[in-house]
Amino acid sequence: MSRTGREGVGLSYQYLQVRNEGGVAVITLDRPPMNVLTIDMIEELVDALRWADSQPSALVLLEAKGKAFSAGVDVADHTADKVERMITVFDEIFYTMHRIDKPIVAAVNGAALGGGCELVLFCDLILASDKAKFGQPEISVGVFPPIACYLLPRLLPWPRAIELLLTGQVCTAAQVEQWGLVNRVFPADTFAQGVSDFLRQLLDQSPVVLALTKKAVRVGLGKGFADGLRDIDHIYLQELMQTRDAHEGLEAFMAKRRPVWQGK
């Protein structure tokens, strides 16, 4: 793995491309045609996510080149001599994503299966083309997907979640949109423009307020109302209201002008 360049410019990986573009830290999976995740590629992805977290960008975008977003983790890396290391480094993707305050957006223009689907589901927002497919087919090779076992019952009603895990069913973008698993589905031939337009809605907001809103949502998860609201109010009063952008937004609204965000 090569990691060179200054301030995120010119970083070089074997299986990924990264760039800053218009306030977005973009990570592109680049192991076509199926972007199968090897242990080496997973380690690069962890490093790239850490790079994205360090950037002054407002958002992180995960995308892919090739026929598939990702067909999942290489089956060869599930064998007895490699599986413990594979699980350890694969889990580190999600520990790293969990620590990132910026919204993470997945752009899925192809199949996201197995570990590729888990990577997508862990993002904050999911944009799909109408040719995208999603599924956890691990059951068919005699294993189960740990991240999906955690996530799917939290994202879907129990009957739907357990069905997907036990059958390995591969679903269309239209199906998962109906279930609420993805935010938008765009036609494949206008997918890039659809993603760009959606991201613009986020980039029009204050990056620091985006991050604090995500933080507030996460801090309330799994807590009772009183405890959750107390912790969210703390973020509002002690973090949000200490930013320049919160005051700028309120002042701009009252003055009937567009806010000028400073990102702090």
Catalytic residues: 118, 138
Query: Could you tell me whether strands 170-172 and 125-129 are parallel, antiparallel, or unpaired per DSSP bridges?
Result: unpaired
DSSP 242-253: GSHHHHHHHHHH
Q: Distance between CA 66 and CA 34 in Å, rounded?
A: 6
Which H/E stretch holds residue 105?
Answer: strand 104-108
Which H/E stretch holds residue 113?
Answer: strand 111-113
Q: Which of 70, 68, 45, 54 is nearest to 5 (CA)?
A: 54
Backbone angle region of 28, left / alpha / beta, with phi > 0 → left and psi within -120 to 50 → alpha: beta
HSE-up of residue 124 (Cα within 13 Å, Cβ side): 21
For residue 198, the SS3 value is: helix
51, 91 Cβ separation under 8 angstroms: no
Which H/E stretch holds residue 209?
Answer: helix 207-220
